[in-house]
A and B are shown apart, each in its own frame.
Chain A
Amino acid sequence: MGAQPLGFVASDYALAIWGVSDLSVMIKSNRLSLENLFSAEMLGDDLEEWLDESSLMKRTFRNCAMISGLIERRHPGKEKTGRQITMNSDLIYDVLYAHEPDHILIEATRRDAAKGLLDIERLGQCLERIRRNIVHMPLGQISPLAVPIMLEIGKEPIFGEGRESAMAEAADELFREAAGH
């Protein structure tokens, strides 16, 4: 939708999404449709594709890799031994996902993510229930139910257009600096 989202975080009561563009203005001017955003159709292939590359999956994978003994957790103050090498589990996930997408650890990660972090079936029911019942209300300040979530802001980053746009802007600035000389 081109809103360049940067991250999201959810609690039992609230879901927060933040982005580069002013989402509220986009919703008001119908450039961003809340109905489409919360459409149950989003639960199909798009979700799976996004999930496979998300930090959510990578974090779940880290747990799976740790349980299987593939990597070991390093504790502060404890010296590194031969077996304990700092290995970025994200890199292992990427390599394993590219070459053995059916690997038992990837499969376990998928299941853990589907059950533990998001229950697709319940989510589908919820989306069905709220369809055409969404009220958009821009607020002048944070609502009470949103306070706990604001404390967790930044927890779940989205590495998409929003992040690229940061580099693009920094590149534009360099161009302006160079042109100004």
Chain B
Amino acid sequence: MSTHDCSDSDMSSDEAEMPLIKFTGETFTPLLSGALFWPAENTLLVADLHLEKMSSFAMHGQLLPPYDTGATLALLPKDIKASGANRVICLGDSFHRDEGPRSLGEQNRQQLNNMIAEVELLWLSGNHDPSPHHLGGTCVNDIDFGNLFLCHEPDKKTHGQIAGHLHPSARIRINGRTTQRPCFVHDERLLIVPAYGVSTGTLNILSHPFEGLFDRNKLKVTMLGKKQLYPVATKYLI
């Protein structure tokens, strides 16, 4: 077996707090924020930023605090710095609405510009933000790396697919304790990255929208704790 979440050496060394995700022969480092770092490509993958989510509610007369965009954009530079990535790929639904890029405030635009000055930024289109925009960086539908295919919505057939869209979270019960946290979830074919945006909710990976996507027997789940990541035994999932 070559595709264990964490090889024995990972767990026994000081690196126990940094589990690795091995997927289609590539090795990834999941980060506490929900970003996935791909060292071989020096690339940071983030999904479902849902920028301008709160402000889009304001259009309908629901005045929610609009700080989510700034808060999400403030997280990214930290992960870029920590991982040393020189490329960031947003796996779609970067904006909550297709018009989101236009309602972006001056301060948030500056945050983006600062980031674009540092790294190569790629936006994949999502169901919430299908149209390309001119905020900087490159807008594409999906990216094919040969052994890996990056896109927004996961499907049931593509091999080596990395996607977002579903905002996965795992709910486990063990000795009477239940806890539900966002998670990375993958089998040998598909990897789904948790939602990165601060205003996003989650969906249990055992719920209906995930049906038929994963081979339950090959399922690997890495939960985001408060201070560390936990690759968990799937028999505790509920």
Contacts and interface: CB of A to CB of B under 8 A. Distances in A.
Contact of A91 (B201, B223, B232): B201
Nearest to A94: B198
A70 interface: yes
B32 interface: no
Interface stretch (B22-30, B34-42, B62-70, B116-124): B62-70
B67 to A, nearest CB: 4
B164 to A, nearest CB: 18
Contact of B236 (A70, A95, A100, A173): A173
B133 interface: no
Interface of A: 6, 20, 70-72, 82-83, 85, 87-88, 91-92, 94-96, 98-100, 103, 162-171, 173-175, 177-179, 181
Interface in B202-227: 223, 225-227
A2 to B, nearest CB: 15
Contacts of A175: 6, 11
Contacts of B230: 167-168, 170-171
Q: Closest 6 CB pairs between A and B? A: A170-B232, A167-B230, A173-B233, A166-B177, A174-B233, A99-B67
Given A98-B67, A98-B71, 11 more contacts: A6-B177, A83-B60, A87-B64, A95-B71, A166-B173, A166-B174, A166-B178, A170-B230, A174-B6, A174-B231, A174-B233
B156 interface: no
A174 B230 CA distance: 10
Nearest to A161: B226
Given A164-B225, A165-B177, A174-B232, A95 B65 contact: yes
Contact of A100 (B8, B54, B65, B223): B65
B181 interface: yes
Interface in B136-192: 172-175, 177-179, 181
A99 B65 contact: yes
Contact of A85 (B1, B57, B232): B57
A11 B199 CA distance: 35
B5 interface: yes
22 contacts: A72-B62, A83-B62, A85-B62, A87-B57, A87-B64, A88-B201, A94-B198, A95-B199, A98-B71, A99-B67, A164-B227, A166-B172, A166-B174, A166-B178, A167-B179, A169-B174, A170-B174, A170-B230, A170-B233, A173-B232, A173-B236, A181-B1
B75 to A, nearest CB: 12
A171 B235 CA distance: 11
Given A6-B177, A91-B199, A175-B11, A96 B65 contact: yes
B49 to A, nearest CB: 14
Contacts of B102: none
Contacts of A99: 65, 67, 70-71
